[in-house]
Structure 1
Amino acid sequence: MDNEKNESSGFDSGADRTVKKPSLSDGKSEWEENPHREHAERGIFDFDEKQTISGKFENPLAGVSKAKLLHEVERFCRDYDLMGNLEIMKKGALVAQSPLHFHEIEELSNEDIAILEREKSHKWNQPWILYWLTVMCAMGAATQGMDESVNNGAVAFYPKQLGIDKLNNATWIEGLVVGAPYLACALIGCWLNEPLNYFLARRGTIFVSCFFAAWASIWEAFTYSWGQLFAARFVLGLGIGAKSSTIPVYSAECAPAPIRGALVMQWQVWTAFGIMLGNIMGVAFYSLGPDVGWRVMLGSSFVPPLFVMVQVFFCPESPRWLIQNHKVQKAYRSFRRIRNTELEASRDLFYTYVGVEIERKVNKGKNFFTKLWELFSVPRNRRATVATWMIMFGQQFCGVNVIAYYSTTIFVQSGYTHPQALLFSMGTGILNWVFALPAFFTIDTFGRRFLLLVTFPFLCITLLWTGMSFFLSLHSTKRTAMITTGMYLYEVFYSPGMGPVPFSYSAESFPIQVRDVGMASATAVLWAFNFILSFTWPALVEAFKPQGAFGWYAAWCAILWFLTLIIFPETKELTLEELDAVFSVPTRKQVARGLREPAYWVNKYVFRRDVRLPPLVDIQQLRGQRKEASQVGTV
């Protein structure tokens, strides 16, 4: 086993993808010899064809008899040359079937039970390589954030240095240059994610995307026209798009279940950290002068991706990706590196394998366009699509990247000098990161919908506060103080709400057969509106002044609050089947209930009346039914 754990770290290019996938029906079995018993029991890979389109997949091993389960484990080990691990694999499969009742599994020894108990009681006691992998993902997120925010300080200088301010339509050209990476993400980067992951695997995609990020950052520093800078930033977007789609997925596929949510949430936390770093670079390099300083600001973002490119060589490949490409032995070696024991690795290997095989069966005969059509043709999927697109759009049109990309310019317009503006811009980045730190506690404690309904009104108020402060006298300290306070308070309320919710919500809302296309489409929506915001802000300020520009995004925060109220179902701590039930509720019923909620809140929390508002879906009843169903046939 130690030799297996020291697996080579070279990228899986998919070159050996020609290996024939073993058939699940190879060889005779006791069920084939007794057809009546075969029809009486549900197999591991059997499912209701009518349910596949809506994604009703709970634990696929629930309801399978022990004899059939152990038979399939033996077949699995024989097909993939793992017979030396047969006994531990059987134990792992039994635990995967009953993860909450492992004490009742007679095949487990006292030592096995102690291992599983320790996994729950000491959930942060993980192999060092898992934490190395987590640090690598965090550095990738920081790269993302820094790529976005270093332009904040630089844009205060390069329009003049490159002669953009003397051109016709200068404000539109400035917006085009600032938004170039996000245009590339929306048009190309997000859609490159699937082919890059198919041919280069997760680690290879991360390496390539960071290579583009590092190369484009250096290119930005050595541009001498707005066209060159636009091209460099467009290439930067190719790396941003693939990286933003791959790293959260890679982290989720490698993390153990007890801490998966917390590790995946690190993407948002360390993206905020990268945004802070980008703002710090603006302060650090301002003294180099107007011609050199902005170049070093943009070029400084080449450092974090270099660390990621080195780190990724020492990380294991995603076991799920390896199983999807029929490299089961390599997947087992990967699991052994990121799990404490063989029992945990065997359990996760077999469970992942079954999930992948069911997903493969569900998606048989479907192509990209078929899945894209199912996002809209299936009512359950359509409601998930509307909700995720709305929240991805909302993360941009709540106005956050006005501050992330233009806060230095805004502070200069408010009356600060350039050095002061850079310093106060750094403050927005620090607040964004500090208040993102507790996000992985609040999002599962209070729920996605609750956080949005609470924070949107404050985002609206702080944007109006900031915009209306521009009516004060230009040379008044009250003006600068009011604008600074408004922008700082905005970051305080953004980070625990609209910061973590969109990516988490989008990743969990789609059923498995359309999840890849659904997530790609949601990410493309985010980057498309990111580009629109960054492209139009200079012209918006020129046409409507800062007061009207901030008022525009404040209005959108009010609209988004109302949309959240009526069409945004809660997904906190819901399983796949429960999500299916939630998104199967007709939209008219969601809207009707949402419209009744404000009156319910007033009666309950203001007038203290004993009122009830029945839920759209009785989750507790659904869980009780599922528990009964899971006990059928397990003996």
Structure 2
Amino acid sequence: MKRYEDEQETVTLLGDSSPAEEPDLRLDDSPAAPEQDSCEVIEFGRIHNLSHKIHIFHRAALLVQGIPVYDIPSFTEDETRAVRAESESKWRQPLRLYLIIVVTVLGAMEQGWVQTSMNGVNLYLPKAFSIDADTPRNDLILGVINSGIYLSNGLLSAWLVTPLNKRLGRRGAVFSAALCSLFSNIGGALTQNWQQLLLFRLILGCALGVISSTLNVFAAECVPAAIRGGLAVSWQMFCAFSIFVGFVANVAVYAFGPKNWRLRLAGPFLSTILLLGLIYVCPESLAWHLKHGGRYNLAYRSLVRLRNTELQAAGDPYLVYLQRPAKANMDVSYLKHTTELFIVPRIRRATLAVYTVMISQQLCGINIISFYSSTIFADANFSTFGALVASTVFGFVNFIALTILAAGLSFSVSNENPARLWLLATMIYLFCVEHSPGMGPVPAAYSAEVFPLSHREIGVSSAVAVTNIWAAALSLTFPALVSTLSSQGASILYALLNVVALCLVFLFVPETRLKRFDELDEVFSVPTRQFVKYQVTEYLP
């Protein structure tokens, strides 16, 4: 029975064998004999119906051993140039690879737009559904409607990601979820009472959970390691961009009268239609082909469409083949994979780090601003139109770039003092500037890379569940907090939660920058107590 070990812990996995780790890219220092390499490549091509490409895999086998490209005379000039460009011109990639990024962007845009649409709707919804009286019941109803997409995402949809991906593939899971999202956006705009709207928001949350979890993993699996970090943050960047677009849409439909909130709810369907049209133009990811059936020929065919040369496409599948992960290690039960997130030392530490960054992202309070900024500005005596415009500026600042406490203190300034409005708006915008480069994009990118291949789907989906459950809790309680503590008291509370988030990240989140997937095993081999001790006693001083 195989075991995971580190310096202080040994944990036996459930079942007969351990889950397959991310392939170890570090080969033995002494290169294999040419005859052995040749025989192995020939066997690989025979087993996986790639004999017609055996000459390419022969050269790829030399390359993955770390032999300098100039020492391999069989390389063509184009292949030599392409290998050099992997480090010298790493952003020169095939159009098809950037199409995957476009698809990821469309998924991110829908999620951000959905958040923003409710921001403007909150100014009209209470009156439209007769829940505008300032009572605990109405505060609860408004909070549940706003947190609905987070509730269903965290409690249900994130846990459906793995089975849907297994049955339908990355593309099929995204397509199915996008159809549900399209139905929910249009249905929500046609609702006649708050109960119907809540139902559509819950369905929408399920769809968004599958889309966000799957697309982040899909992009991480398809892009080369050299640009994975840069492209992974595109999700949050364009989620922020769509928040800005949604705010612009809120202002654009203002002149349509008291029913304009219906147009706001329907708006995100535009990005969904584009997502539906493009997702099947993208090839399936290499990791999915290898995980579900060990189909190296199909994995190679996908990578040929995503790399500049066939040689570069051959390297990754052959490298995985060298590690020979047992198929049984991939085909373990869903319950077993879920359990191992918390009992296998290497995976448990990754889980702790990911959950920490996800919770910290919500503790900072950015989603409260995204959902309730118009309401906050209206409470500060902005007009309805002025509140929408001020929120739009927030969306723009969020896209381009201690302030939440200052925003709360700004409510202490007298209503008659014009500086009150400017101070509040400025502090909210500065808070957004500080959030956007850090806690905005990092959690999604971090969670998509720290788990081994065997646990990547369930790890990312569970991380999405955690962040959405916390987002739901914060969105659900914010109306009641404002009623009890006022906007000033709620802002000061979130300032304190930012301090808590800072401490959590410092103590439980190891750095993964510029690390290959195989090197992350070493990062998370350090026991948590040892890492915390180092951070406090050595790094901090």
Question: What is the TM-score when the length of structure 1 is the normalising length?
Answer: 0.78
Instruction: Judge conservation of contact 1:566–1:593 (CA < 8 Å) in 2.
Output: no
Q: Does 1:476 align with 2:476?
A: no
Match of 2:193 in 1: 225
Return the match for 1:175 from 143, 147, 153.
Answer: 143
Q: 1:353 to 1:147 in 2, by over 3 A?
A: farther
How far residue 133 of structure 1 moved from its aligned partner, in angstroms, is 2.6
Return the match for 1:495 from 436, 443, 452.
Answer: 436
How far residue 342 of structure 1 moved from its aligned partner, in angstroms, is 1.9
Query: 2:517, 2:326 → 1: CA distance?
Result: 13
Return the match for 1:543 from 484, 496, 499.
Answer: 484
Segment of structure 1 superposing worse, 415-424 or 340-349: 340-349
Encode CA deviations 1:565-606: one digit per residue, 9 max, x unaligned.
Answer: 333222222344543333333333333333346863xxxxxx
Query: 1:155, 1:367 → 2: CA distance?
Result: 43
Segment of structure 1 superposing worse, 415-424 or 105-114: 105-114
Q: Does 1:256 align with 2:224?
A: yes
Q: 1:590 to 1:125 in 2, by over 3 A?
A: closer
Query: 1:123, 1:215 → 2: CA distance?
Result: 40
Paired letter, 1:477: P
Match of 2:15 in 1: none
How far residue 511 of structure 1 moved from its aligned partner, in angstroms, is 3.4
Match of 1:432 in 2: 398
Instruction: Judge conservation of contact 2:240–2:399 (CA < 8 Å) in 1.
Output: yes
Match of 2:257 in 1: 289
Local SS of the residue matching 2:513: coil
Q: How does 1:161-200 map to 2 (within 5 A)?
A: 161-166=128-133, 169-200=137-168
Coordinate RMSD, CA, aligned = 2.4
Segment of structure 1 superposing worse, 52-61 or 479-488: 52-61
Q: How does 1:172-571 map to 2 (within 5 A)?
A: 172-290=140-258, 292-326=259-293, 327-354=295-322, 357-358=324-325, 360=327, 362-363=329-330, 366-435=332-401, 461-571=402-512
Query: 1:587, 1:526 → 2: CA distance?
Result: 22
Instruction: Judge conservation of contact 1:145–1:275 (CA < 8 Å) in 2.
Output: yes
Query: 1:150, 1:197 → 2: CA distance?
Result: 29
Q: 1:570 to 1:320 in 2, by over 3 A?
A: closer
Q: 1:54 to 1:557 in 2, by over 3 A?
A: farther
Gap runs ≥5 in structure 1? 1-46, 436-460, 601-635
Instruction: Judge conservation of contact 1:359–1:513 (CA < 8 Å) in 2.
Output: no
Match of 1:620 in 2: none
How far residue 462 of structure 1 moved from its aligned partner, in angstroms, is 1.1
Local SS of the residue matching 1:220: helix
Aligned residues: 525
Q: 1:133 to 1:560 in 2, by over 3 A?
A: closer
Q: 1:432 to 1:340 in 2, by over 3 A?
A: same
Match of 2:75 in 1: 108
Instruction: Judge conservation of contact 1:54–1:580 (CA < 8 Å) in 2.
Output: no
Q: Does 1:81 align with 2:49?
A: yes
Q: 1:57 to 1:325 in 2, by over 3 A?
A: closer
Match of 1:72 in 2: 40
Query: 1:268, 1:219 → 2: CA distance?
Result: 27
Q: 1:590 to 1:430 in 2, by over 3 A?
A: same
Q: Does 1:93 align with 2:61?
A: yes
Query: 1:592, 1:572 → 2: CA distance?
Result: 21
Query: 2:364, 2:426 → 1: CA distance?
Result: 18
Instruction: Judge conservation of contact 1:415–1:475 (CA < 8 Å) in 2.
Output: no
Instruction: Judge conservation of contact 1:320–1:352 (CA < 8 Å) in 2.
Output: no
Local SS of the residue matching 2:415: coil
Paired letter, 1:564: V
Q: 1:53 to 1:221 in 2, by over 3 A?
A: closer
Q: 1:263 to 1:429 in 2, by over 3 A?
A: same
Q: How does 1:12-91 map to 2 (within 5 A)?
A: 55=21, 58-59=24-25, 61-62=27-28, 65=32, 66-91=34-59
Q: 1:146 to 1:125 in 2, by over 3 A?
A: same
Query: 1:111, 1:483 → 2: CA distance?
Result: 57
Instruction: Judge conservation of contact 1:54–1:381 (CA < 8 Å) in 2.
Output: no
Instruction: Judge conservation of contact 2:148–2:205 (CA < 8 Å) in 1.
Output: yes
Local SS of the residue matching 1:419: helix
Gap runs ≥5 in structure 2? 7-17
Q: Does 1:131 align with 2:131?
A: no
Paired letter, 1:162: F
Paired letter, 2:422: A
Paired letter, 1:433: F
How far residue 227 of structure 1 moved from its aligned partner, in angstroms, is 0.1
Return the match for 1:149 from 116, 125, 128.
Answer: 116
Query: 1:110, 1:353 → 2: CA distance?
Result: 27
